Amino acid sequence: MPELTPGSRWASQVCTTEVIVVRAPDGDVDLECGASPVVAAGGSGPDGSPDAGAADGSLLGKRYVDGDDTLELLCTKPGDGSLGVGGTLLGLKEAKPLPASD
């Protein structure tokens, strides 16, 4: 399990997804894509395919967060695998509504 630090880049082993860590909790995090552990970006290309339960894909430019809002990732390269932590899929971060101007 890697220790994630803001600014670090990670890539999927089973698809083309790549992410940058925006915010990370302390300690090691079991970050996954397509139900397989991620690796440091810049390594070899994808080998295999995402697990069927984690194959909804990731979207370019979208931010993904965990349920506690302690982990935030920015997708820099889309792919077929879904991002998750310890078997739990991450959700898309919702945009904050702008204040009304009267």
Give the tens place of pLDDT for each residue, 66-99: 988 899 999 999 999 999 998 899 999 988 888 8
Query: Has residue 46 got a pLDDT over 80?
Result: no
Computed over every residue of the chain, the mean pLDDT equals 90
**Angle at the Cα of 47 (from 93 to 12), degrees rounded to 5?**
20
Integer Cα distance of 6 and 69 in angstroms:
14
Distances (CA, A) of 37 to 25, 33, 62, 73, 98: 17, 6, 20, 15, 36
Band of residue 65 on the pLDDT scale cut at 50, 70, 90: very high
Distances (CA, A) of 32 to 12, 88, 95, 100: 8, 9, 24, 38
Query: Rounded to the nearest 5°, which phi and psi values hold at 47?
Result: -140, 105
Band of residue 1 on the pLDDT scale cut at 50, 70, 90: low
Query: Has residue 15 got a pLDDT over 80?
Result: yes
Query: Has residue 45 got a pLDDT over 80?
Result: no
CB 37 within 8 A of CB 31: yes
